[in-house]
């Protein structure tokens, strides 16, 4: 069975003064039935993990290096994230793919390293506006899935997030039919490649999810939760979305 999960990606936002938001999320997590993950910047992972330690809120990282250690200035390994208290890591976010030229192959290598270290890899895929306009959405998402998800992926160590690039941080959201078409295609592709375990991999939607559009998105078949950016910075908004998912 696919697990319901809500993940909040803080991107390059958050200082010590933001830990109170994480504490409020941790308190709320106790009464929620969906899984809840907050992904702060690297600098807050360890302190966020302390705040969350006896709660149902998990902490994640926003990227990791494919190697365990070595001469890679500025990078962080999966093992280091785990050591700091993280249990999840977002990989292949469109901002990493565009700003840091990350390829499907690199994302797959990172995901394999993350899962080998004991982290759950949240692998992001999604088309640009030009690709959607050209009618290539399903082709692009299937190609990214095939090449970014490593052979070691299972329902226990991998989550997929469908994030249309044009919907991230823009307030523009695909129609429920458009989301449903992509999620069904992802479900079928993963089931075909990995069998029963592939069909149990949680499929998140991401792109301008807010408390007021969450119910219609979570009603779509094969949508098991969301990857949320802007609306995850305030506990009140993030918890409101989690309540919608828990009630679904
Ligand atoms: C994201 O950063 O992955 C994201 C979906 O952002 P937003 O919710 O702000 O569109």
Atom in ligand 1 nearest the alpha carbon of residue 228: 8
Question: Is residue 8 in contact with ligand 1, taking CB distance under 6 Å?
Answer: no
Question: Is residue 126 in contact with ligand 1, taking CB distance under 6 Å?
Answer: no
Q: What percentage of the chain reaches a pLDDT higher than 70?
A: 100
Q: What percentage of the chain reaches a pLDDT higher than 90?
A: 97
Atom in ligand 1 nearest the alpha carbon of residue 11: 2
Domain CATH number, residue 178: 3.20.20.70
The pLDDT tens digits of the residues spanning 193-208 come to: 999 889 999 999 999 9
Atom in ligand 1 nearest the alpha carbon of residue 170: 10
Q: How far is CA 85 from CA 10, 34, 101, 160, in A?
A: 17, 20, 28, 22
Taken in order 186, 190, 195, 199, the sign of the CA dihedral is: negative
Q: CA 68 from chain center: how many Å?
A: 22
Q: Which pLDDT does position 196 carry in this prediction?
A: 87
H/E run at residue 88? strand 88-91
Q: Is the pTM of this model over 0.95?
A: yes
Instruction: Give the count of domains, the chain.
Output: 1
Nearest protein CA to atom 1 of ligand 1, as residue:
229
Q: Is the pLDDT of residue 167 over 90?
A: yes
Q: Which domain holds residue 205?
A: 5-247
Provide mean pLDDT across the span 50-67.
96
Nearest protein CA to atom 8 of ligand 1, as residue:
229
The catalytic site residues sit at: 93, 163
Q: Is the pLDDT of residue 51 over 90?
A: yes
The pLDDT tens digits of the residues spanning 121-131 come to: 999 999 999 99
């Amino acid at each position: 069975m696919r697990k319901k999960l809500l993940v909040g990606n803080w991107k390059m936002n958050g200082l010590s003064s933001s830990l109170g938001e994480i504490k409020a999320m941790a308190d709320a997590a106790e009464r929620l039935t969906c899984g809840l993950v907050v992904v702060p910047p690297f600098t807050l992972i360890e302190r966020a993990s302390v705040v969350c330690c006896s709660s149902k809120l998990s902490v994640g990282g926003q990227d990791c290096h494919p190697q365990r250690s070595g001469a890679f200035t500025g990078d962080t390994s999966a093992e280091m994230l785990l050591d700091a208290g993280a249990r999840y890591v977002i990989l292949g976010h469109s901002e990493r793919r565009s700003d840091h030229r990350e390829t499907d192959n690199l994302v797959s290598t990172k995901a394999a390293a993350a899962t080998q270290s004991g982290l759950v890899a949240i692998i992001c895929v999604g088309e640009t506006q030009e690709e959607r306009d050209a009618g290539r959405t399903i082709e692009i998402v299937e190609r990214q899935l095939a090449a970014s998800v490593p052979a070691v992926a299972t329902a226990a160590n991998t989550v997929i997030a469908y994030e249309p690039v044009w919907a991230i941080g823009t307030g523009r959201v695909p129609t429920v039919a458009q989301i449903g078409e992509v999620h069904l295609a992802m479900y079928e592709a993963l089931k075909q490649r990995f069998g029963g375990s592939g069909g149990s991999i949680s499929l998140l939607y991401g792109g301008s999810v807010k408390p007021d559009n969450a119910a219609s998105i979570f009603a779509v078949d094969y949508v098991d939760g969301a990857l949320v950016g802007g609306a995850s910075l305030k506990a009140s908004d993030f918890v409101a979305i989690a309540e919608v998912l828990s009630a679904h």
